[in-house]
Structure 1
Amino acid sequence: MRIIHLGKIVPLNLVLLLLLLGVAACRGEGRTAKKLAQDSQLAQESATGKSLDGGFTFNAVTLDQTDERGNAIWKIKAKQAVYSNNNKIAQIETPIGDLFQDGKLLYHVTGQQGEVHEDGQKVFLKGNIVATDIQNGVVLRGNELEWRPQEDILIVRNQLIGTHKQVDVTAQEARAFSRAKRIELIGKVVAISKQPILQMRTEHLIWEMEKEKMFSDRPVQIDRYVGTAIADRGVGDTGEVDLKTKIATLRKNGQLNVLDPPLQISSDLVVWNVEGKTVVSDNPVRIFHRVQQVTMTANKGRVDLEPKIAYLNGNVYGVGKRPPSQMRTDRMTWFIPTESFEAVGNVFYKQVDPPLTLTGPKAVGQLKDQTIVISGGSDGGRVYTEIIP
């Protein structure tokens, strides 16, 4: 079976001659929509076409499009194609096809219906769409597909579901860019990584396939699941998940609520190593213990979720509510389960009941029972105690 490609470099008289020969010789030749337009003029005097409501019907047809170099752009087989002279569009039934970029096969696509515009630069498919990315293994399902080869955009929309070995996604629309190896997900996006189970919710998500990263420039929520239950939840004005390193990053009003220990960690930069079980911020950070009712702030900090130790550096300030107390220091190590601490550098401690103020180079103690020991440190610094009657 011959497939005749219609390109801009082919003379019109040669095309018409080939079409005349092709129509007489073979019903299943390849056609672009423009070829169908020319074939429809010949179909009135041949057995290959049948007029239907002002259009012409072609059965078991193969449509294709090539670029100026002869490289395939797309090739679609259809059970039936109906060409309309009025709107210059070929309507196709049960399309199955391949989409190409730079001569390479990119996607295998199927649908229930479709249409091809006469210029061949737009292909639409509708109904039970399945688009398989041959290079990356992503499968996009929806009810509408649009292929714009000149813009290197494949769009799948309307009840979008995407599956991949690393992550599953749902959204209102997906836009795949093959050269950039990027997929943009738009509208009510939910992305779930499989190991560990992280669920990412946002309105706009960019999935960089080669870098194995997903990031959003919109408000985002990231949940870590244990089984079917949410264990930890992070939110931020923007955020990203590195699917390879299992690190989630929250920026601009970032906040991570951890189940165990029961902490709320807030900063404009929260770096959450999910598998490493650490949370790090090099920006000013606030840590609130929801049970102990203790709040710590510092210029930067790190929390090891196992063995539940927080390390705070620079302008450390702590406030306890039960009982009321305050502490300032340069550096602090906070042993969360025992509510004990070690503070180094310019330590200031104050409690209300009984009234007491302590200052010194170093301190250890427990906030919950107000047991504090101030020492002079290795440099012999002075210790001051003030008891307020």
Structure 2
Amino acid sequence: MDETPGLAREWKKSTHAGKDIDCYDCHKALPGDKDGYLHHKVMIATIVTPKDCAACHEKEVTQQQPSHHAKGGQILASLDNLMGEVIGGLPAVNAGCRQCHGSVVELDAKNMPTAETWPNTGIGRINLDGSKGSCSACHGRHRFSAAQAREPDTCGKCHLGPDHPQKEVYEESKHGILFASFRDEMNMKSKKWVVGVDYTAAPTCATCHMSATQTQGVTHDVGDRISWTLRPPISQKLNMIKLENGDEFDLPASQPLPKVGDAAKGSTVKQIVSWQKRREKMKDVCMACHTDRQVNQHYEQFDNLVDLYNDKFAKPIAAMMEELKKAGYITPAPFDEKIEWTWWEIWHHEGRTTRHGAAMMGPDYTWWHGIYEVAQHTYFLWIPEMKEVVMKKDGNTKFADDLLAKYFKPIDGHDWYFNGLSKEAIDKVRKGFEERYGKGSLK
């Protein structure tokens, strides 16, 4: 305690301290622990893992281990990580990507975590004892407060920025505005925290994705109520396949469902949770405050936006990118041509932003930071770049023009690109503009 007095004081304010759970109870190293070392004549470990927490919090860890959060470390084998390590550099990955997604913990000769892998409270940290994740990513050491984990700022450590702007979208939304206005009415420190009962001012991120309703208990499986995936180039609705070994995985609704008892991923299927059931769980949260009509119509608006993004932009561009690769206009290697960076940002940045904006009712992120930039970059960056790579090889743009005719021209939303804005559309704009600014103001 003399070595880290600040941490000791925080611990004294915790529920742990009130139940006589001390430093050694959490940090003790069991026989066989790879990271155990002698400290003041007792064997301890620096890193407290979900497996350690499960000694008291078994239910919570059982829910957390198969979750999207615990699997955050899977980025270590992704295009994102390739970009980070190769194009950026490993120090940037260690101090950046891995601080949210998690690192693979490694030890030095003294059984201490290496500087490349520690400190790290990444949500998907891969621990030496085989467990995944870090409870302190949300429940900050050493107070481990449930109230702190309910704060949107806690989620904002990772869920912000151009490729996952959930915190910014939330703050813009009516929900976020209400939370900021009536924060002192949120009863955040209550042990029981049921939306519509213990608080009514606003939901937080935890409310929608994890916390209790009058019909659902708390869950530490953050994907349990998510029916769309908004991360990849093309969104799909997701069924959840739960396995006998305690793991689970998402299966796109476009793929055939297994049956209970079927072999899958080294185990057998225990339960299938359809995307519709996952959506009903989220709707249950919404209906703590809203009517079913309002909730259903929000989802209709959300679905329509995702379908617009998918069908007008993502699917045809992805198909054209594949044809360009097959025909040898661009290489199979990622990120070695400008057009690949442009497509990456269309889906990975603006595409995700518009989809999350619609999901969480953030109009500015849905439009100006979202579909507006998707469209702008498609028409005035990606298409010219496609024509450029084709021209470079063929000396003309015929292959590019043929792709646009095949994939874009049949879509009504692209008609203006081929034929210009209609006189009717221009006259409508002119009328509204002149009513506001005077006759002749729109030249």
**Greater share of strand residues, 1 or 2?**
1
Structure number with larger C-alpha Rg: 1
Q: TM-score, normalised on structure 2?
A: 0.23
